[in-house]
Structure 1
Amino acid sequence: MTDAPAIRRAGPDDIPACAAIVHGWVERTDWMPKRFSLDEIVAMFRDALATREIDVIGDPIAGYLSLDPQSARIVGFYTDQPGKGLGRTMLDHVKAGRDYLQLWTHEPNVEAHRFYTREGFQIVERDEEGDDGLPELRMEWRREAAADA
């Protein structure tokens, strides 16, 4: 991708677009429980905006990455255009200046695991019930581990 879309910090006006990306993914994913309405997801984003670093990509917004800076945990990371390089662009952006990141991913999300593994993440833990009642895997990225690969 030669002209990657710009990444910028999300603001309150970006919340509906980010929530719509998550809601759309949940609706399209047969194994994912449909626990929250679009309005509830919007409310969760509004709450998170004060404590997380949420970056968006594209105009219109085509993806977002939400990071808890205290724990270096990627809490949410979705694009509505998989395979176009947006996820990698966002992940490279959040890795810059950091030596460590972690995230939880649903075990059935095999495509996400392949992506994270290609990007230097390793599975370090499994939670049988996860936040959504589904098994989840915790993955970590460390700059020194990525440099050795």
Structure 2
Amino acid sequence: MNLYFQVHPAVTFYLWEYTFNFTSLKNLKKQEDPSKIKDPQKQETDKLIRDYRIRNYRETDLDEMVRIWYEASVIAHSFIPSSFWASQKSAMKEKYLPFAENFVFEADGQVTGFISIVRRKVCALFVAPEMQGKGIGRALLEHAKNLNRKLSLKVYRENENAFRFYSKYGFVVLGEEVDKLTSCVQILMEWG
């Protein structure tokens, strides 16, 4: 049985932390060292969060990741009873997250968001509700895009903010299906 983790609608905002934005070269009047040119999206996140990094998750991050997942899921998926999300906490910690390739966004030494990928599928992208709107979700998604030529995901149809978010960052609709666990319609999307 697969449980697909959904994205919180306010988990938006990405950053190209590890790549060079070649489109910025068009606006240069003189040739500059590419390593000294800052990506505008990175500059935006730099202004919002001073000390941050994206890194591989550690087992010690799991409790905080599950907390973030649960709190953001309850808010983003108000059309699903919160008791459903509460019933999935153990499975998230013991089964689903350890199986995935996870990257966490760490700000000022605290995990504030994460992205989970399984075979080029974004299974989870969550940002702590108190940290949303600061570029964390965008940073995590761009990190995943830099590591994969293609990505796919599922988002609940009722989660309109998440759908708009993914559309904004290049994901296109492939179809729809009904989630067997929740009976809600999911939109299948792909990038790359």
TM-score (norm 2): 0.66
* Residue 8 (1) aligns with residue 55 (2): yes
Runs (4+) off by over 6 Å: none
Report the counterpart of residue 55 of structure 1 in structure 2. 103
Report the counterpart of residue 86 of structure 2 in structure 1. 37
Report the counterpart of residue 174 of structure 2 in structure 1. 124
Distance 1:129 1:51 in 2: 20
8 Å CA contact 2:69–2:126 kept in 1: the answer is yes
The superposition leaves residues 23-73 of structure 1 with CA deviations (integer Å, 9 ceiling, x where unpaired) of 1123334212321427x42442332344310111123111110000x3x10
Q: Secondary structure of the residue that 1:74 maps to in structure 2?
A: strand
Distance 1:140 1:4 in 2: 31
Distance 2:63 2:174 in 1: 33
Q: Secondary structure of the residue that 2:64 maps to in structure 1?
A: helix
* Residue 24 (1) aligns with residue 74 (2): no
Report the counterpart of residue 145 of structure 1 in structure 2. none
- Structure label with greater radius of gyration: 2
What number of residue pairs does the alignment pair up? 139
Greater helix content: 2
Structure 1 residue 83 displacement after superposition = 1.8
Distance 1:27 1:100 in 2: 29
TM-score (norm 1): 0.83
8 Å CA contact 1:66–1:77 kept in 2: the answer is yes
Cα pair distance change 1:107/1:67, threshold 3 Å: same
Q: Secondary structure of the residue that 2:52 maps to in structure 1?
A: coil
Question: More relative contact order in 1 or in 2 (CA 8 Å, sep 6+)?
Answer: 2
